[in-house]
Structure 1
Amino acid sequence: MARILIADDNPQNLYMVESLLKNNGFEVVMAVNGAEALDEAVKNPPDLIISDILMPVMDGFELCRRWKADDRLCGIPFIFYTATYTDPRDELFAKKLGADRFIIKPKKPDILMREIREVLNEAQDGSGHAHDTGRNEKEILQKYNEVLFRKLESKVRQLEDEIVLHRKAEEQAFLANRKLALMTEITYQDIQNKMTALRGYAELLHSPRTESERQTLVARQVEIFDTIHNLITKSKDYQRLGTDQVRWVPLEETVRMQMSIQSREPHLILSCDLDGYEILTDPLIDRVFYNLIHNTIRHGIRATRIAFSCRKTPAGLCIVCEDDGVGIPFEEKPFIFTRFPRGDGKFGLFFVAEFLKIAGMTIAETGEPGRGARFEITIPPGKFKKNP
């Protein structure tokens, strides 16, 4: 019965190779690094060694170098079985050291066993790898250093890639938290506004009213209750932000939907010409258009028209939202996107700016006071497309 020594620091790999060899009638001895394998071989030389390369204390290359330099072991065949060193130059170096086989993990059991038996047969009939008694140790050490340096470079690149991925994950988590905080705040603000309206209708019910008027007020209250319920329900969706929910959102369909949801002003006409464009973003982009429309309804005062259009620019796709209302005074422009802007009820524009910033987009107000508000949203290249 042939006796085979296995050197590998991975317990699972040791177990798999050990089981395979024992099931095929071989005696097996195991070591977890090159130094341990060398000690075991000197005490009780095996008929064959199968060694990994990347191991602590002493790696497989150094083990092979010492193995072939030892008169007691140099005639025993040496097989490398590795998943880490897979470069053709690694195989050439292994053969330079005197290895009989260089096998890449994983290998099908029947193929691995065929290789092992071939090496054992070659050792018995003398046709195996001849030991190079005149090899240049200085050259071998130089090649060894080159192999280690190349592997170190590879590991450094791998580590750099992992660092980039880790930073990206951290950034995504940070943006997700910002989104969640923002959505929570806007939901709270919406509910507060609805509660104010609810109290107003409740007070109106205390004054003398006809039955028809009372039914209308009650219907409005029920409608507000439903809206509050929907806001609370939708807040659960916000908790999923940051789980990569981006998708292609059709612009014109989204704008028209947001207009129909909130506009009860028969005098406000929507003009929408977004030319079949879609943008790649979080579906909650609909709240951006909701708030822009709401801004016109609430603060445009004399606005009769709100228009959405778009054009391509060197910076990407520019979406324009403009109305014919009173516009925004020059002194208020620096504050309209802040959390606590001057004037009442402009929290929605803070949300718009924050959401777009998180999504990698920008917004600017370019209207003229007295001639209407005008907002320009820039979508960067790669995040928009036009349907035919």
Structure 2
Amino acid sequence: MVQYSVLYVDDEPALLEVGKIFLERSGALTIETISSAREALSRLGERACDAIITDYQMPGMDGIELLKEVRQHFGDIPFILFTGRGREEVVVEALNCGADGYIQKGGDSRSLFAELEHRVVQAVERRRAIQALRDSEERYRALFEGANDPIFIFEEDRFADCNSKALETFQCTREFLIGKKPWELSSPVQPDGLPALTSVVEKMRAAYSGQPQFFEWRIATPSGKRYDVEMSASRLDVKGPRRLQAIVRDVTARKQTEAALIAANRKMHLLSGITRHDILNQLTVLQGNLEFMRERITDPVLLGYLDRQEQTVGFINHQIAFTQDYQDLGVRTPDYRGLRECVARAAADLNSRDLTLLAEVEGVEIYADPMLEKAFYNLFENSIRYAGPAPTVRVRCRRQEGSLIIVIEDNGPGIPAEDKEKIFIRGFGRNTGLGLFLVREILSATGLAIRETGEPGKGARFEILVPEGGWRVRDAGAAA
């Protein structure tokens, strides 16, 4: 139980003694009795208390004078005037000077001191609530002003408040900003393609309805400078007019960097495409000349050299094809892709009559790079290459807590235990060593992972791990 410390000031010792007994009975108060106002001031200078009860008429300094001294030197300590003098002017003066209450002595002692105790507890708790609110407001204001990002408060559709960082961003004074409407300090057309007024109205309406908004915005300062920002806006549930809080982050530098990166990538893609085209043209000429040589050469030794040259040309062709695939990785935006459709298209692209595909993935969608189909193509191609004359591949899904495991298993010889990680390293293997490396790269672009978990001699078994939030099911029951 919380106890409040109280100074009880009166020049009548007998009343102090009786009052202390009654006031401490419930355990809510601890009473320290003092016989004069000046002694009370001296005591307050030594240590604080939660409340003061005082008589009005005392020698040397009366209760009103004590109240004035307390308010001047010790702040808003709860102060109750407890006196036998009931003149109206005393009550009015006490309340005008900041007293928290007034009780007149007389009547049943038990009821009188119970009422006095109630008034004291009520006054202390009210003052503490007020102080807590002040502290909260001060903390909020400190956070508000100390934030590194601009923060705005909107009242209806106008700026009502902002922090110092906001004034730096808009390069204006608070007096200029307050009362303005946001579209008055915005570029005419916004990143969403809408006029500023239309876009503001839509986003404010959504935010006021309880839907937090996060969007890109383009502001215009009074001097004409424009900045790209990200803005989050949410409703403040407070009494009075409707209010929104908006937090702004300047992303102008990031946008400029992104634009430069896009331009550089565009140039790199163009250069890579031209270079790849020229190399393929030269390889075509080289392959034609090798064919002409094969028609004329009969020496077995020279034919052996010719075979190795043709193998080298084939390897270069594979490398060029890989650079095309790798260049496309991450260029297009990831999205949810139907697993059944990806698997079916990958198998169709292989154009293999020998492959038997068993897919149990109906309704499952994966958030992945558009090249997800290429990943399955390479996995199926790997099975066809190693599984023998009648390759069978089974694709299925299973849940693991919130994640999804996509299992791809075949009827081939499997992967030796010592090679289970090496197969994903670029250049490993008897062929180009690029297929499974590319698979891992495609999957990792959106946070997917792959591992090989099959038993040697019982077929390869690849598991693609899709984290929670990276998959969904169109139809209930599609993933077992």
Is TM-score (shorter-chain normalized) higher than 0.5?
Answer: no
> Whose radius of gyration is greater, 1 or 2?
2
TM-score, scaled relative to structure 1? 0.44
Greater RCO structure (CA 8 Å; 6+ sep)? 1
TM-score, scaled relative to structure 2? 0.36
Whose strand fraction is larger, Structure 1's or Structure 2's? 2
Whose helix fraction is larger, Structure 1's or Structure 2's? 1
